[in-house]
């Protein structure tokens, strides 16, 4: 298996240290705090370890504090309910003695029922698009180092944006973005693994859609962004090692917050998962932004 994907799977595989208490490591991916998707994926993994015979269908999380990428995270699971068909778990992620995330997740015994879903947007397929790491070769000199590292470092997923990123100029764009995503190598058939990896990757790109109408440049260093909450629904079985279209729109930005919605479609056009996120989006003086190395602790 590709080393970066293997490392991510190991990152999402938690150590049990007591009944309902688990511990996971952290990784620095170039952001000023632990990547939110890492905490989401690990929190879902912790909840899954307390459930048998049921599959996650939704999670709802609040980011409370900045995570420290140099320290492990402890996950405490509350087995809130086990009903005839559904189970609910509450998870608190703790670091340095303080909660950094609260999450509730719901699980269901698989069953059949009514079926319909939204249509996939009419966009080019992944084979006709350039990968993000190829687009990143066009980075101008003025792009901040943390963004340069974030875009060019090897990832466990391949990203192919439908609209090429303009790294040089400010553009006013519709608050809509589409990107094809898949893991860089084949994975086992375990559905919980694919769900954990989707939870991880669902935090990519989502909040950024709320900035598109406002002529903000990728090379600018005057925007403070931090996820406040995140929700994810799993509608159908899927494979994260096969192409999924992440279709994102942002219907609102106000009060220094952006709100975005996402839908994951497989290549056959079937909706397999949906997401929403609201986050802090502040445009400030660049000197002030450079001092805000800890946005989740200060929002």
Q: Residues for the chain: how many in total? A: 299
Q: Which residues contact 107 (CB under 8 A, 6 or more apart)?
A: 47, 48, 51, 54, 55, 56, 57, 86, 87, 88, 89
Give me the catalytic one of 195, 203, 249, 260: 203
- Concerning whether 68 is annotated as a catalytic residue, the answer is no
Please, what are the domains in the chain? Answer: 3-111+129-298 (2.40.160.210)
Among 199, 179, 144, smallest CA distance to 32 is for 144
Backbone angles phi, psi at 210, to 5 degrees: -75, -10
Mark whether 203 is an active-site residue.
yes
For position 113, what pLDDT does the model report? 96
Does residue 100 or residue 219 have the better pLDDT?
A: 100
Tokens of residue 242, six digits: 């096969």
The pLDDT tens digits of the residues spanning 3-62 come to: 999 999 999 999 999 999 999 999 887 666 899 999 999 999 999 999 999 999 999 999
Residue 153 has pLDDT above 60, yes or no: yes
Indicate which residue of 227, 250, 260, 274 is catalytic: 227
Q: Each residue of 59-70: pLDDT tens digit?
A: 999 999 999 999
Rounded Cα distance between 282 and 262, Å, is 22
pLDDT tens, position by position, 285-294: 766 555 544 3
**Residue 42 bears catalytic tag:** no
């Amino acid at each position: 298996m590709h080393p970066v994907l293997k490392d991510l799977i190991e990152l999402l595989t938690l150590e049990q240290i007591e009944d309902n208490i688990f511990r996971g490591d952290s990784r620095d991916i170039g952001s000023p705090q632990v990547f939110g998707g890492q905490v989401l994926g690990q929190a879902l993994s912790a909840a899954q370890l307390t459930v048998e015979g049921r599959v996650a269908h939704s999670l709802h999380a609040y980011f409370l504090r900045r995570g420290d990428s140099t320290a492990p995270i402890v996950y405490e699971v509350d087995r809130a309910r086990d009903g005839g068909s559904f189970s609910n778990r509450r998870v608190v992620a703790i670091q340095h003695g303080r909660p950094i995330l609260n999450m509730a997740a719901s699980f269901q015994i698989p069953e059949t029922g009514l079926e319909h879903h939204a249509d996939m947007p009419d966009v080019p397929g992944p084979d006709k698009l350039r990968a993000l790491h190829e687009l990143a070769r066009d980075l101008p000199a003025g792009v901040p180092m943390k963004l340069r590292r974030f875009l060019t470092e090897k990832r466990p997923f391949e990203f192919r944006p439908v609209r090429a990123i303009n790294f040089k100029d400010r553009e006013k764009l519709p608050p809509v973005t589409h990107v094809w995503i898949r893991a860089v190598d084949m994975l086992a058939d375990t559905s919980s693994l694919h769900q954990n990896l989707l939870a991880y990757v669902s935090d990519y790109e989502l909040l950024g859609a709320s900035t598109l109408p406002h002529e903000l440049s990728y090379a600018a260093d005057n925007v403070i962004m931090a996820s406040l909450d995140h929700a994810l629904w799993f509608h159908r079985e899927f494979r994260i090692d096969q192409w999924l279209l992440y279709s994102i729109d942002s219907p609102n930005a106000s009060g220094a917050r952006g709100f975005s919605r996402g839908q994951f479609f497989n290549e056959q056009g079937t909706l397999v998962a949906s997401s929403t996120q609201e986050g802090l989006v502040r445009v400030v003086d660049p000197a002030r932004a450079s001092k805000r190395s800890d946005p989740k602790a200060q929002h």
